[in-house]
Amino acid sequence: VCVCVCVCVCVCVCSGSWADRSPLHEAASQGRLLALRTLLAQGYHANIVTIDHVTPLHEACLSGHVACVRALINAGANVNAATIDGVTPLYNCCASGSVGCMELLLQSGAHTRAPHTHFPSALHEACKRGNSQCVESLLSHGADPDDEVSHLGSPLYVSCLHRHTMTDFALLLPVFDLGADVSVGRGCDSPLHAAVRQDSADQVSLLLDYGANINLRDSNNQRPVELAPPGGKTQQLLLAFEVSPRSLCQLCRLRIRNLIGRSRLKLLPLLPLPALLTHYLEHISNEQ
């Protein structure tokens, strides 16, 4: 019996098979770098998993311990390991808001997409939490701003669904700057519908500025204006927009950005155009 137990323990430690919260998991979670390095030196496998397939790297990222993340990656930890719920270390970085851990993962080959199409991506989690730095970092590494998960919607939709009043613009602007489709939400429900339900006038204004369609109807056949709280700022904004169509300048901007394409929007400053016009195409206020 003792021999069998020793063999099982050896397999768990050395081959990366499952163990329910190993000492390596605890060290990674608590940020105890010296203990973590000692355990690795003693033979603990960097990819040892719990019964739910949680790795020490998952734990280190969720707690935001950059040094432990670096040590685990150097020891061969799988940066794309997924739990039974599809959670990756990158996803956990967005949950904790640790940009430092995220950069290490991305530099080591972490995928920005979820392991399966029905799981939320790291970008979805960053938008849900309102972590604007994580959003910007993910987008700069190729994350798809229109990645729609059937039961969650697009990252933009998720962001509008959770009202982050202090970071509305900081969170949403990088998504728009990479040409996110403002009509992609969750099925018939658009980001504009979600923002109106949250009574977030700032988000609604920004969505309209980037071409959101106020006449789209959700699964209940309702337009955004029909969902706005009566007499509120959001309703007033939508009603005013209905009787004041976009100007020719605004329509031209939307058309030009669409023709340029998402992948080339970052090249707008290189066009041989006056700064005033370039700033307008980039939605940059000349008062800034």
What's the structural domain count of the chain?
A: 3
pLDDT tens digits, 259-286: 888 778 888 889 898 999 998 888 887 5
Claim to verify: residue 224 and residue 269 sit in the same structural domain: no
Claim to verify: residue 165 and residue 224 sit in the same structural domain: yes
Claim to verify: residue 192 and residue 149 sit in the same structural domain: yes
Query: Do the domain assignments include residue 19?
Result: no
Please state the separation of Cα 131 from the chain's center in Å.
8
Claim to verify: residue 66 and residue 149 sit in the same structural domain: no
Assigned token pair, 262: 């998402």
- Say what the pLDDT of residue 234 is: 95
Specify the residue for token string 């700033």. Answer: 279
Burial of 230 (0-12, 13-18, 19+ CB in 10 A): exposed
Query: Do the domain assignments include residue 7?
Result: no
Distance CA 148, CA 158 (A): 10
Query: Do the domain assignments include residue 95?
Result: yes
Mean pLDDT of 243-265: 87
Query: Do the domain assignments include residue 15?
Result: no
Query: Do the domain assignments include residue 125?
Result: yes
Q: Which residues are CB-contacts of 101 (< 8 A; sequence separation ≥ 6)? A: 60, 61, 64, 65, 66, 69, 89, 93
Q: Which residues are CB-contacts of 270 (< 8 A; sequence separation ≥ 6)? A: none
Query: Do the domain assignments include residue 17?
Result: no
Claim to verify: residue 162 and residue 197 sit in the same structural domain: yes
Distance CA 227, CA 63 (A): 39
Claim to verify: residue 147 and residue 172 sit in the same structural domain: yes
For residue 191, give the CATH number of its domain. Answer: 1.25.40.20
- Say what the pLDDT of residue 175 is: 81
Query: Do the domain assignments include residue 96?
Result: yes
Give the structural domain span for 277: 249-287
pLDDT tens digits, 47-97: 999 999 999 999 999 999 999 999 999 999 999 999 999 999 999 999 999
Claim to verify: residue 129 and residue 203 sit in the same structural domain: yes
Single out the residue of 229, 241, 243, 166 nearest to residue 197, CA to CA.
229
In angstroms, how far apart are the furthest CA atoms of the chain? 82
pLDDT tens digits, 128-158: 988 888 998 999 898 998 898 888 999 999 9
Specify the residue for token string 């309102």. Answer: 130
Name the least confident of 101-105, 126-130, 238-242: 126-130
Of residues 245 and 108, more confidently modeled? 108
Residue 240: pLDDT band (50, 70, 90) is very high
Distance CA 93, CA 74 (A): 18
Query: Do the domain assignments include residue 169?
Result: yes
Name the least confident of 38-42, 110-114, 228-232, 284-288: 284-288
Claim to verify: residue 136 and residue 203 sit in the same structural domain: yes
Single out the residue of 287, 215, 280 nearest to residue 248, CA to CA.
280
Claim to verify: residue 230 and residue 168 sit in the same structural domain: yes
- Say what the pLDDT of residue 7 is: 37
Sign of CA dihedral 249, 250, 251, 252: positive
Q: Which residues are CB-contacts of 140 (< 8 A; sequence separation ≥ 6)? A: none
pLDDT tens digits, 159-180: 888 866 555 566 777 787 777 8
- Say what the pLDDT of residue 20 is: 79
Claim to verify: residue 197 and residue 268 sit in the same structural domain: no
